[in-house]
Amino acid sequence: MNDSWLADAWLADAEIRIRADPAAIHTLFPEVGRKVGRGPRYPDKDPDGLVYGTVDDQVRARLLGLLAEVLPAEKIDAEVIDLYRYGDDAERCGVLRGLPRLPESSVPLGLELVADGLRTNDIRLVAAALGAFAAEHLDQHQWRHGVLKCLLVGVPLLAVVDLDLRGDAELRRMVADYADERRAAGRELGPDVLTLLEERSVPRTHGRGQRLMGGLCYCTNVHPAEDLAGVLRQLDIHAAPVREAAGFDRLGLGLWLAADVVAALAEDPAELTKLRRELDARELDVLTLNAFPYGGFHAEVVKHSVYRPRWTDRARLDYTAGCVTVLAGLLAENADSGSISTLPLGWREPWTSADDEAAGVAMRAITEVLRQTSSQLGKPIRLAVEPEPGCVLDTVADAVSWLAPRVDPEFIGLCLDTCHLAVSFAEPTETVASIYDAGLSVVKIQASAALHVEHPAEPESRQLLTEFVEPRYLHQVRELTASGEVLAADDLPDGLDDLPAEGPWRVHFHVPLHAEPQLPLTSTTEVIRQSVAAVPAGALIEVETYTWEVLPERHRQDLVHGIAAELRWAAKELR
C-alpha cells in the first residue's frame, strides 16, 4: 500500500485492536508488509534497508513495543517467541528490530533470538540482529563474531550499532585473519574490511546503556537548514534515524532555527502547531533551543559572522524573544523547564562601556519576555549565556563577573560549553563552583570536546594540526605556559604561525565525543566528565559537535551513526 494516509489509518486501527486484545498482534503482524509497504525507510541513504531497516520493520517494531506496554512482563516472552518462530523472514526482522522496546526481563530471550538471526545467511536478519539490542546486551565474544558474519555475508558495517565504541584490537586481529584468507584465495577485500584494518585507535568499548536518557539531547546546528522545509527535511534524514540508531524510544533535540524561521513560526501559531506535530510523529522532543547562530551557520565562510548581531543590536533581542515564543510552543510536555543558549554578547572588538550598557538593557528586556512567557506556560524558560574564547565574555570567569550584578538569576544563567571551558584551561570543578558561589547557575551543559596537543612543537603534532585548518569556522587556540599564563590566538593558522608552542595547546575544534583523534593529538573528554560531575544533578546535557562536515577526512563518519554513537557515549559516560 503506497498511500501513506491509508497506511497511517491501518496502523492506528491496529494499535487500537492490540490495546483491546493483545492476541490480535498474531493476525496483524503478517499483514504489515501488505498494509504499509516493504521498501527501505530511507531509500537514498540505504536502498537495501539494511542500515535503517524497512517500512514494515519499523511498524512491526512499533507494534512489539505496544505489546510490551499492554501485557505484563511475565507474559511477553511467550508472545514474542510465537511471533518469531511462526513468522516469515520479514516478520523475524521486525521482531529483531523491536527487541530494544522490550522490558529488561526479556533480555535473555532477546539474546537467543539475536543468536538465531546471526546463524542465518539472510543479510536482513543478520543486519537486524546487530542493532541496538545487540550493542547493549551481546557479550564481546559473540558481538565480534557477529561483525565478522556481516563481512562474510555482505552486510554493510554501517548497520552494526556501536561499532566505533565496541571495536577493539581482537576484532581487528580476526578481521586481519579473514583478510589473509581472502587474499590467499585471490579474492578482493571490500571497503569495510579495509576500513577496519586501517583503524589505528582502539575505540572505547560500550557496555550496557540506557534506551532513553531524559536530560540528554543533541544540537541540530550540525544540520544546514535555513527555512522550515529544510528543518523538516533534516528531521527525516537525520534526527529520526539518529533516534533509531541510538536505540532511544524518544530523542531529545536542542533545536537550532535560523532567524527567518523563528520569525515566521512566532507569528503563525498554526505553523508552530504543525511543527510540533511533525516532531511528535517522529518521536522527537524539543528540550532546548540554540539561539547562538543567527543564520548562515553552514555558509562557506562563517568565522566572525557567527557573533553578529551582538546583544547591542535590536535584531538579537527580537530573535531571542521569538525563540522564547517558539520554545513555549514546542517544549516537550514532560520537560520541567526550557532553555535557550545565546552568544556571550559579541566578539571582543570593538566593545565599549556604552556597549556594556546597551547589552544590559537588552538583558533586562529579554528577562521580562522570559518572565511573562514562563508564567503563561506554567514552567520556566531560561536564557543560557555561553562564554566563548575571543568574545566579550571569553571565559566562565568573565561571564560570571559580567552577569552576576546585571541579571535576574531566576531567568538568566550560563550555558557551560565544555569545549570552550577546556580551551580556557580552567579547572572544571572550581569553575562550576564559582558560578553557584556568585548566585548564578548552569542552565544547560553543552557536551563538546576540544583538541588537546601536549607537545605542539613536535613535527608530527603540527602536521596533524594542519589537517584541522579549514575556512568555515574560527578555531581559537590557547597555550598554557609554565608560569600558568594562557596565551591566545584567534584561529588555528594564527596559532601555528605566532604561538611559541612551548606548552600544551587546546584548540576550539569540536571533535566527536566517542572517537579520539589520531595520536599524538587527544581530546578533552575528561573535562566533560568532570564538569558534569560538578554540576548539580538534573542539568540538561546537549551534545554539540557541529563540525562533522569540516573534520579532516580521516575523522569523518556517517553523520547519523556518528551522532548516535556520541549520544550513547554520553548516556554511558555522563549519567
Hey, where are the domains in the chain?
Answer: 4-198, 216-573
pTM of the entire predicted model: 0.69
Alpha-helix residue ranges (DSSP H) falling in 348-415 = 353-377, 396-403
How far, in Å, CA of 519 to CA of 467, rounded? 13
CATH code of domain 216-573: 3.20.20.150
Antiparallel, parallel or unpaired: β 540-543 and 522-523: unpaired
CA distances, 553 to each of 134, 322, 517, 548, 549 (Å): 29, 38, 12, 10, 9
Which residues in the chain show pLDDT less than 50?
Answer: 1-2, 200-214
Q: What is the pLDDT of residue 200?
A: 37
Strand partners, 413: 384
Q: Which residues 6+ apart lie within 8 Å of 454 measured at CB? A: 461, 504, 520, 522
Residue 98 near residue 67 (C-beta atoms within 8 A): no
For 49, phi then psi, to 5°, come to 70, 25
C-alpha cell at 502: 612551548
**Cell 557515549 found at:** 569
Burial string for 243-277 (b: 16+ CB within 10 Å, else e) reads bbbbbbeebbbbbbbbbebbbbbbeeeeebeebee
Predicted confidence at residue 341, as pLDDT, reads: 97
Sign (positive/negative) of CA torsion 314, 317, 321, 326?
positive
pLDDT single digits (tens) 280-307: 888 899 999 999 999 999 999 999 999 9
Of 97, 245, 48, 54, give the one whose Cα is nearest residue 165.
245
Rounded distance between C-alpha atoms, residue 369 and residue 367, angstroms: 5
Q: Nearest-CA neighbor of 10 among 87, 62, 78?
A: 62
